[in-house]
Amino acid sequence: MAPDAPVVRKSRPGQPGSQSALRQLNRTRITEALASGGPATQAELSRITGLSTATVSNIVKSMLGDGLVTVEPTTSSGRRAVSVALDGHGAIAVGIDFGRTHVRVVLATVGHQIVAEDSVRLPLGHHAEEGIAAAAELLERLLAQANVSRRSIVGAGAGIPGPIDSRSGTVVQGAILPEWVGINLLDRLEEALDLPVFADNDSNLGALAQVTWGPHAAVSNLMFLKIGSGIGSGLILNGAPYYGHVGVTGEIGHATINEHGHVCRCGNRGCLETVASTAIMIELLSRGAPRPVGVGEIVERALAGDAATLRVVEDAGLAVGRAIGNVANLINPEVIVVGGPLAGLGELLLAPIRRGLLRHAVPLVGETTVLVMSSMGDRAEVLGAASLVFQQHGIRRS
């Protein structure tokens, strides 16, 4: 695993030190070797993993039985050998996206095909345990539906709308899900799912999805900006997700826009979130209304030309543009992708963001940065979560 990997995988399924834990560990090592290096003979696998040829042979046999790998005869240094490859349909990754009021799960193949997918609604303010239990239940249902064996699962990737300390796998202060703060996401998920788990912030996964599943596969420097009840971003720099020192990056929602503005949930004043999140838009547009407007209504009203809604969207866009102008000056991205529940606004939101970007970025940077809406709807995070599993295993779609 790379030293700057997103969130550590602390343990493997099974009891530590037990035979089954050891077997699972060895299996994962072989999967990783095949995923990063492509097909290999059993002798090569033995060299790469340091496992004995007898152990490799046994594991390959059991993986073959589970449909995880395919084998074919070959010759190596003039001798007969067996070439082992990951089965593109057999090796499955689980992607899980936890939100404020939903959990979504996908089963995806190495070849980026969706095998099964569904989501369930959760009550606002639900506790982490409730979300984790719902994810485990949904996973079991999808496995049964798609007739996928648990043994063909390489691992599960999980995203949550909040920062995770990459040293421990713990959800830290600043999460949109305050009930999850302090939870060790990896430990709890591995216990509940009985799978190797990888976890990351949802904006990072949104960024990863753009360069793995999305239309920006060839882009090396990309910023994904998620505008929702909070505002976060994920960065792909030089072709790889950027995780910084302890895994907390892209917190652009707390860029100061107006020092005398509203107090933010982070304790500062006038953060971008206090002027451009869907939470503040709802607050501004619900004044005097019998009930709060929904995010969907904001999109509908703006598209219908409602003046107050358009003004709120425009103000938000300009503030976002100013904040990303500073980021663009720093990292010179090729593409900035805007995602989240306001994506349906299209140019109504992109145009003021672009104006803000052009005003605050160095001219050449502003003019050459492509600004687009995410085409992945509310699925970017969950698809990125599935990618995380393969990426941690060294797989990137090239």
Q: Residue numbers of the site for Zn ion (CB under 5 A)?
A: 254, 264, 266, 268, 271
Q: Which is nearer to Zn ion, 149 or 258 (CB)?
A: 258
Q: Which is nearer to Zn ion, 209 or 323 (CB)?
A: 323
Q: Least distance to Zn ion from the beta carbon of 227, Å? A: 14
Rounded to 5°, the CA angle 279-277-349 comes to 125
Contact 140, 94 (CB under 8 A): no
Contact 208, 234 (CB under 8 A): yes
Q: Least distance to Zn ion from the beta carbon of 268, Å? A: 5
Q: Least distance to Zn ion from the beta carbon of 264, Å? A: 3
Q: Least distance to Zn ion from the beta carbon of 320, Å? A: 14
Q: Which is nearer to Zn ion, 162 or 366 (CB)?
A: 162
Contact 354, 371 (CB under 8 A): yes
Do you know the residue count of the chain? 398
Q: Which is nearer to Zn ion, 13 or 161 (CB)?
A: 161
* 367: helix, strand or coil: helix
Q: Which is nearer to Zn ion, 109 or 229 (CB)?
A: 229
Q: Least distance to Zn ion from the beta carbon of 338, Å? A: 20
Q: Which is nearer to Zn ion, 184 or 278 (CB)?
A: 278
Contact 34, 40 (CB under 8 A): yes
Q: Which is nearer to Zn ion, 136 or 264 (CB)?
A: 264
Q: Least distance to Zn ion from the beta carbon of 167, Å? A: 23
Q: Least distance to Zn ion from the beta carbon of 374, Å? A: 23
Q: What is the dihedral of CA 383, 388, 394, 397, to 10 degrees?
A: 20
Q: Which is nearer to Zn ion, 111 or 178 (CB)?
A: 178
Residue with tokens 């689980």: 94
Q: 138-146 long-range CB contacts below 8 Å, 24 or more apart? A: 138/103, 138/105, 139/94, 139/96, 139/105, 139/193, 142/105, 142/107, 142/116, 142/117, 142/118, 143/107, 143/116, 145/116, 146/107, 146/115, 146/116
Q: Least distance to Zn ion from the beta carbon of 83, Å? A: 54
E strands in 137-290: 153-160, 164-165, 170-171, 197-201, 222-227, 231-237, 240-241
The type of residue at 40 is A
Q: Least distance to Zn ion from the beta carbon of 201, Å? A: 16
Residues 6+ apart with CB under 8 A from 134: 103, 120, 122
Alpha carbons 169 and 335: distance in angstroms, whole number: 29
Q: Which is nearer to Zn ion, 64 or 266 (CB)?
A: 266
